[in-house]
Amino acid sequence: MESYGYEMNAPRSGSSHYTFRKQGCITCGETVESAAANALDAKKAWIEAALEAGAEIYEPDSLEYYSGQFKLRIPRSLHRSLTEHSQREGISMNQYCVYLLSKNDAVYSK
């Protein structure tokens, strides 16, 4: 179970809680330590509930096999359009493309 990772988020403005969030699972704590302990309990409870419900639990995968880069050939007109949109947003084209890919991937991940 330890290999199933999680993300911890620092308190936002006006909050004093660190939060742990995974699909269908959320917890928090007053300190990083308490939030991490609560996250372990929440993760265990989530896995137990999923097993009882007969839900499929996928093996955790490792990110070490992914470089974070890939080459993509696109039409020149799309290249121009992406460049123009990223400039309008005031961000790099790389950041803009990551945003678009993440947004679209989130739609299909549900």
Q: Read out DSSP for 3-69? A: TS--EEEPPPTT---EEEEETTEEEEESSHHHHHHHHHHHHHHHHHHHHHTT---PPP--GGG--S-
Average pLDDT for 20-41: 75
pLDDT at 2 over 50: no
pLDDT at 54 over 50: yes
Average pLDDT taken over every residue of the chain:
79
| Token pair 């947003």 in the structure block, residue | 89
Task: Please tell me the pTM assigned to this model.
Answer: 0.44
Average pLDDT for 17-42: 73
pLDDT at 49 over 90: no
DSSP 1: -
Contacts of 11 (CB under 8 A, 6+ apart): 17, 18
